[in-house]
Structure 1
Amino acid sequence: MSFEVKKARREKQKLIAGLMGPSGSGKTLSALLIAYGMMREAYPQLSEEEVWAKVGLADTEHKRSLLYFDYQIDDETKVGEFLHINFEPPYTTERYQEAIVALKQAGAEVIVIDSLSHNWQGEGGIVEQHGAMSGNSFQNWGKLAPETTKLVRTLTRNDVHIIATLRTKQEYAMELNEKGKQQPVKIGTKPVQKDEMEYEFMLNFNVDMNHMAKASKDNTHLFGEEEFRITVNDGRRLFRWLELGVDVKAEEAERRAKQAEADEKERQRLLAEIFAAVESDEKKRKELAGLEFKMNEQKVQNFPLNAMRRAHEILTN
Structure 2
Amino acid sequence: MATATEAARNAGGPTSHTRFQFTQATKEQSKARVALDGPSGSGKTFTALTIAAALGSRIALIDTERGSARKYANEFAFDVLEMSYFSPDDLVEALAAAGAAGYDVVIVDSLSHFWSGSGGMLEQVDTAAKKGFGGNSFGGWKEARPMERRMVDALVAYPGHVVVTMRSKTDYVLETNDRGRQVPRKVGMKPEQREGLEYEFDIVGSMDWENNLLVTKSRARSLSGAFVKQPGIEFGQQIKDWLEDGTAVEPIEDLITEALRPEATFEDLGALMRKVRARRLEGAPMLDPVGAPTTLGAHITERGKLMRRTAAGQGENREGGAA
Structure 1-normalised TM-score?
0.68
Partner of 2:189: 189
| Distance in structure 1 (CA, Å) of the matches to 2:35 and 2:149 | 17
Find the residue that maps to 1:195 and give its secondary structure: coil
Residue identity opposite 1:192 in structure 2: E
Partner of 1:32: 49
State the Cα distance separating 1:231 from its structure 2 match. 1.0
After TM superposition, the structure 1 = structure 2 runs for residues 233-272 of structure 1, keeping only pairs within 5 Å, are 233-249=234-250
Structure 2: 5+ residue stretches without partners: 1-17, 255-323
Q: Quick one: percent identity of the two aligned structures?
A: 33
Partner of 1:85: 81
Superimposed CA distance per residue, residues 191-234 of structure 1 (whole angstroms, 9 cap, x where no aligned partner)? 11111211111110011111111111100112232421211011
| Distance in structure 1 (CA, Å) of the matches to 2:47 and 2:179 | 29
After TM superposition, the structure 1 = structure 2 runs for residues 119-138 of structure 1, keeping only pairs within 5 Å, are 119-132=114-127, 133-134=129-130, 135=134, 136-138=136-138
| Distance in structure 2 (CA, Å) of the matches to 1:204 and 1:178 | 32
The range that moved more, 175-184 or 139-148, is: 175-184
| Distance in structure 1 (CA, Å) of the matches to 2:178 and 2:208 | 17
User: Which of 67, 92, 96 matches 1:97?
Assistant: 92
Q: Tell whether the 8 Å contact from 1:172 to 1:187 is kept in structure 2 after alignment.
A: yes
Superimposed CA distance per residue, residues 113-167 of structure 1 (whole angstroms, 9 cap, x where no aligned partner)? 0000111100001111222222222232232221221122111112211000001
Partner of 1:9: 26
* Residue 52 of structure 2 corresponds to residue 57 of structure 1: no
| Distance in structure 2 (CA, Å) of the matches to 1:183 and 1:111 | 40
Q: Tell whether the 8 Å contact from 1:83 to 1:103 is kept in structure 2 after alignment.
A: no
Residue identity opposite 2:68 in structure 1: R
| Distance in structure 2 (CA, Å) of the matches to 1:37 and 1:81 | 12
State the Cα distance separating 1:105 from its structure 2 match. 3.2
| Distance in structure 2 (CA, Å) of the matches to 1:207 and 1:180 | 27
User: Which of 11, 17, 21 matches 2:38?
Assistant: 21
The range that moved more, 169-178 or 191-200, is: 169-178
Superimposed CA distance per residue, residues 50-86 of structure 1 (whole angstroms, 9 cap, x where no aligned partner)? x3xx11110000010111122xxxxxxxx23211111
Inter-CA distance 6–87: structure 2 relative to 1 (3 Å threshold): same
User: Which of 55, 70, 93 matches 1:66?
Assistant: 70
Number of residues paired by the alignment?
A: 229
Residue identity opposite 1:86 in structure 2: E
| Distance in structure 1 (CA, Å) of the matches to 2:82 and 2:177 | 38
Superimposed CA distance per residue, residues 236-268 of structure 1 (whole angstroms, 9 cap, x where no aligned partner)? 111111111111217xx8xxxxxxxxxxxxxxx
Q: Tell whether the 8 Å contact from 2:215 to 2:223 is kept in structure 1 after alignment.
A: yes
State the Cα distance separating 1:21 from its structure 2 match. 0.6
Residue identity opposite 2:51 in structure 1: I
Partner of 1:269: none
| Distance in structure 1 (CA, Å) of the matches to 2:189 and 2:219 | 22
Superimposed CA distance per residue, residues 20-46 of structure 1 (whole angstroms, 9 cap, x where no aligned partner)? 11111110101011110122xxxxxxx
* Residue 167 of structure 2 corresponds to residue 167 of structure 1: yes
State the Cα distance separating 1:177 from its structure 2 match. 5.3
The range that moved more, 98-107 or 144-153, is: 98-107
Partner of 2:216: 216
| Distance in structure 2 (CA, Å) of the matches to 1:217 and 1:27 | 16
Q: Tell whether the 8 Å contact from 2:55 to 2:161 is kept in structure 1 after alignment.
A: no
Structure 2-normalised TM-score?
0.66
Partner of 1:154: 154
Structure 1: 5+ residue stretches without partners: 40-50, 71-78, 254-317
| Distance in structure 2 (CA, Å) of the matches to 1:147 and 1:171 | 31
Inter-CA distance 211–14: structure 2 relative to 1 (3 Å threshold): same
Superimposed CA distance per residue, residues 164-191 of structure 1 (whole angstroms, 9 cap, x where no aligned partner)? 0001122111235576654332211111
Partner of 2:316: none
Find the residue that maps to 2:206 and give its secondary structure: strand
